[in-house]
Chains A and B, each alone.
Chain A
Amino acid sequence: MSHRSTRVQTPTGGAVTPIRPPKVYSLPEPPSPAFITPYTDYKAGVPIVLDLGTWQTRVGYSLDDTPRLTFPTQLARYRDRKILRTFTLVGSDVNLDANTRQAAKSPFDGPLVANWEYLEAILDYAFVKLGVSSDSKVDNPIVMSEILGCPLSQHRSMQELLFETYSVPAATFGIDSLFSYHYNNGSTGLVISAAHETTHVLPVINGRGILSQAKRLNWGGHPAASLLLSLVQLKYPHFPGKLTPQHAEMLIKDHCYVAPMSYADEVDHFLDRDDNFDERDHIIQAPFTEIVQPTKTEEELARIAERRKESGRKLQEQAAKMRLEKLIKKEQELEYYRAIEAKSAEVSQREFTRILEAEGFDDDSGLIRMIRNLEKSIRRSRKQDIGEEESDSEPQTFPLLDIPDDQLDESQIKQKRHQRLLKSNYEARMRAKAEKKKEEERRKAEERQDEEWRANDLEGWIKSRREQREQILQKIKEKKRLKEELNNRKSLASQMRMKSIANLASDTPTSSGRKRRRGGANDDDDDTFGANDDDWAVYRDIANTSDTEEDEEMAATVRKLEEQLLTFDPDFSLDNTLDAQNDWTNSLIHAFLRGTRPFDPSSRAEAHQVHLNIERVRVPEVIFQPSIAGLDQAGVVELASDVVLRRLPTKDASVACNDIFLTGGYSLLNGFDNRLLHELRAVLPVEMDLTIRRAQDGILDAWKGMRKWVSSKQNISKMLTRKEYEEYGPEYIKEHDMGNMALV
C-alpha cells in the first residue's frame, strides 16, 4: 500500500535542488498469521527443546535440525460479548483481527516471567502444536532456557509447572547464550549476548561459564524499540498514521546501524546537505488513503472565474456608491456645523450657548471637536477613493439649480432635486481628485529628495536605510520576545498585562486618579488617551492575540528596505536578507524533520512520512552509552573491558579476548561487531589479540545449542529427573556447565 512520491518541486530558496525523487521505504507490516496444523508424529521419550525467549519461543524435538515451531511469545485473551465466549490466542495468531491484536500481551515483564497463567497457555500451545498425545503427562524430557541469575521463585515456579502440570519425566534449565556458544564450538571466550530484553557479558573458560564475573545490562531489542517509537512520536506529534511497537522493532532491524567509529563522529555531519544526505535520511511511508479532488474542465474554471469577477465588480460598485453617499452626508454635516460656528460671531453669547445646547453640545469645544473629527474622516475617505476615479474631464453643468422653484413645474422641481444631488456628488469627486493630486506631488517630491540625497551622500543614505531596517527588525524581535514572555505567568510582561486588565476593569482607573493627584487643576474627564496611536496597543496587549496585520506590514517594510539596499548597497547581499535567514533550506530542524526537500503540508503522502535520520544511529548507540536512555549502567564496552582487565586472571583474559562471541537477536545490528572491535582495541593492551566473531545464527543458535547438549549421552544424566524432583523439592537446582548456580 505504499505510494511513492514522484512530484518534483523547486524550493523557494536559492539552494541546489535535488532533482532525483527520494527513495521511499514502505512501513513494514507484521506478517499475517497462517494456521499451523498440529504435528501428528508425536515422539514419546524424545527430549523436547524449548527456547522460551522474551521475543520468540522456539520448540522442537532434539532429533530436528531446526525448531518445528517458532512464534512470538505473546498471548491475547479476547471475550466476544455477542456469543459469550473467551478466545485464547497465542503466537502470531493474535494478529488474526484488530481486537485480538490490541489485546496481545507478553507473559514477561522485562526478562522475568510476571504472568504464569499466560506462560502456561503458551506452553500448552507449544505442546498442542507439537501433537503431544501421551495421557496426563508430557512424556518427554524438557530442555529449557533460563535467564542468568534466575531468581529462585522463577526457577521454582517453572519446575513446578513442568513437573506438576505436565508431569514431565526430566527437565533441565540453562542459559541461552552459553548454549549458543556451545553450539558454535566455543571453549574459552567472552560471550556478549544482546537479546530482546537484556544484554549479557559472560566469560567462559574451558566450556564453563564464569557466572560470578558476568554482568547484565538492562537493554535490548525491546527497550530499543520503545525508545525509537517514543522518539518518532515526539518528532511527529501530529502524525496521522498509527505506529506500533512491532513497527518500531522492524524499523530497527531494517534501518538502524551502529556508528562505525564513534557516535559523535557519525552524527556531526549527519544533517549536512551534501550529496549523500538521501542515503542517510531514510523516508518511511506509512499507508494512507488519497483524497481525490474532482477536477474541473477549463471551460468550467473560466466560467467560475468570470462569475467571481462579475460579482466582485458589482460589490465594488455598490461599496463605492455607499462610500460616496456617506461622504456627501458628512460634507453636509460639516457645512451645517460650520454655519453654527459662524453664528457665534453674529449672536450673543447666551444665544449661542442655547443653540449649542439644542444641538446637544456642552460647550463650544465639543463643537470644535466635532468639526475636527468630521474634517479628518472626510479627508480619510477621500484618500481611500483615490484610484477609482472616473475620467470625467469636462466640467458638468447643472442649469436648473440657478432657477428659483416658483419658475419651475413639478417635473422640473424633481429634476432640480436630482441635479442638486448630482452636483454635490460631482463636487465631492473633484475635491477628492485635488487631494489625490496633492498627495501624488508630495510623494514625488519626497522621492526626488531621497534620490538627491542618495546621489550626494550615498553612505549616509545607506546608513539611514540600514538603521531603519535594524529598527524594524528590533521591533519584530521585541514583539516575539513579548509574546514568548506572555506564555510565562510570572514574567514582567504578563504582570503588566494583568495590571492593565485590572486597571481597565476598575471603577476608578488609576491614570485619571494619578492626574488628579498630580495636577489638581485639570479636572475635566477628557484625558488624552488615544491621542497617541500607541495608546490603543493596550487593548491588543490584553487581548493577547497576535496581530498578523501589523506583522505583515512590518515584514513588507523590511522587504522594501532590503530591496533598496540590494540595489544600492554593495555590501548588502541576498544572504543578508530576512527571508534568506528564515529560509528552510538553511534550517537544521527542517533537515531533521523533512529532509532536504520542501515540505508540502497539503500532500497526504508527505504527511504520512517519517524521516529516520539521526535515530538510525541514536537508538543503537544506547548499548554503548546507556545514559542516552537514562540507564545508570556501564556500556557494553566498559563491561567487557572490565571483565577482561580486572575480573579474569591475565592468562585466561588474553585467551578469552581471542574469541569474543556475539549472539542474540539484537546483536545482529548492522556494524555492531566492527564497532565493538574498534572500541575494545582502544582500551585493551596492544599485546592482547582481539578476535570478534558472530554466532552462525544469532537467533537460532541457542536452540541448536540446547539440542546439541541434550543429544550427548553423558548430559542426559545431568538432567533433573522426576524422582529427584519429588525428593528434593521444586527449589532444587541441579548444576551443570550451561546452567545457573545453586545458592545455598
Chain B
Amino acid sequence: MAPSTVSSASATPPPSAPPPFTLFDADLTTAPKPFRNPHAKPPSRRVKNAKQIISDEAKRLTSIDRPGAVDQPTYINVEAPPSVLPRKWWCDVTGLRAPYRMPGSGMRYHNKEVYEVIKQLPPGVDQQYLQLRSANVVLK
C-alpha cells in the first residue's frame, strides 16, 4: 500500500486574509510616473560592482593633489585597520576553543571527537568550512 501524503497546510485560506492582489497591481513598469523629467538623458554605464567602484575611487584619489590628505576621510582610509591583538582560534565545526590544527587542510578543531568528524568529511567540505573564515585554497 502506498503511503498517502497529507499536506499540513489548510486547504482553504483563513477568512480574515486581505483581498489578494496580483502582479499586475504591483507592477511598477505601468504605474504612471508624471514626476519624471522626460528630457533627462540616462547616463551610459549604470552597473558596476563594489570592487570596481573602490578601485576607481582609489585611482581618482591618487590622481588629484590633496594637501593634508591624511586627515581627509575617504572610503578607503576609513576602513578599519587589521587587529593588533593576538588572534584567538575557534573550532571550525563547533565554534568551541580550538587548541588543535589539522595538518593538511589547516582546519582548527576542539577535541578528538571533532577530529574524527573532520577526518571523514566528504572531499571539498573542509574547504567550505575554511571559506567561512577566508582560509580556503583558491585555485586560479
Contact = CB atoms under 8 A, between A and B. Distances in A.
Nearest to A730: B43
A264 B88 contact: yes
A290 B33 contact: no
Nearest to A111: B50
A114 B47 contact: yes
A112 interface: yes
Contacts of B66: 743-744
B78 A148 contact: yes
Please indicate which of the listed interface residues B26, B27, B53, B71 has the most CB atoms of chain A within 10 Å of its own CB. Answer: B26
A60 to B, nearest CB: 17
A168 B99 CA distance: 60
A300 to B, nearest CB: 11
Does more than half of chain B's interface fall in helix, strand or loop, or is it mixed?
Answer: loop
B111 to A, nearest CB: 7
Interface size, A (range): 35 or more
A629 B54 contact: no
Interface stretch (A227-235, A343-351, A460-468, A684-692): A227-235
Interface size, B (range): 35 or more
Contact of B117 (A127, A132, A136, A589): A589
A744 B49 contact: no
A293 interface: yes
A35 B6 contact: no
B95 interface: yes
Contacts of B79: 215-216, 218, 633
Nearest to B79: A216
Interface stretch (A177-185, A242-250, A620-628): A620-628
Interface in B102-140: 110-111, 113-114, 117, 119-120, 125, 128-129, 131-135
Contacts, number: 246
A352 interface: no
Contacts of A227: 132
Given A151-B57, A166-B37, A1 B28 contact: no
A148 B72 CA distance: 12
Interface in A552-590: 587-589
Interface string B20-34: 011101111101111
A631 B134 CA distance: 8
Nearest to B54: A151
Nearest to B58: A151
10 contacts: A34-B21, A88-B27, A89-B28, A138-B35, A151-B54, A215-B79, A218-B80, A630-B133, A631-B134, A744-B64
Q: Return the 3 tightest CB-CB contacts between A and B, nearest first.
A: A630-B134, A630-B133, A151-B57
Interface of A: 1, 3, 33-35, 78, 80, 86-90, 93, 96-97, 100, 109-112, 114-117, 121, 124-125, 127-128, 132-138, 147-154, 157, 160, 164-167, 200-201, 211-212, 214-218, 227, 230-231, 234, 237, 263-264, 267-268, 270-271, 287-294, 484, 587-589, 592, 614-615, 617-618, 625-635, 638-639, 740-741, 743-744
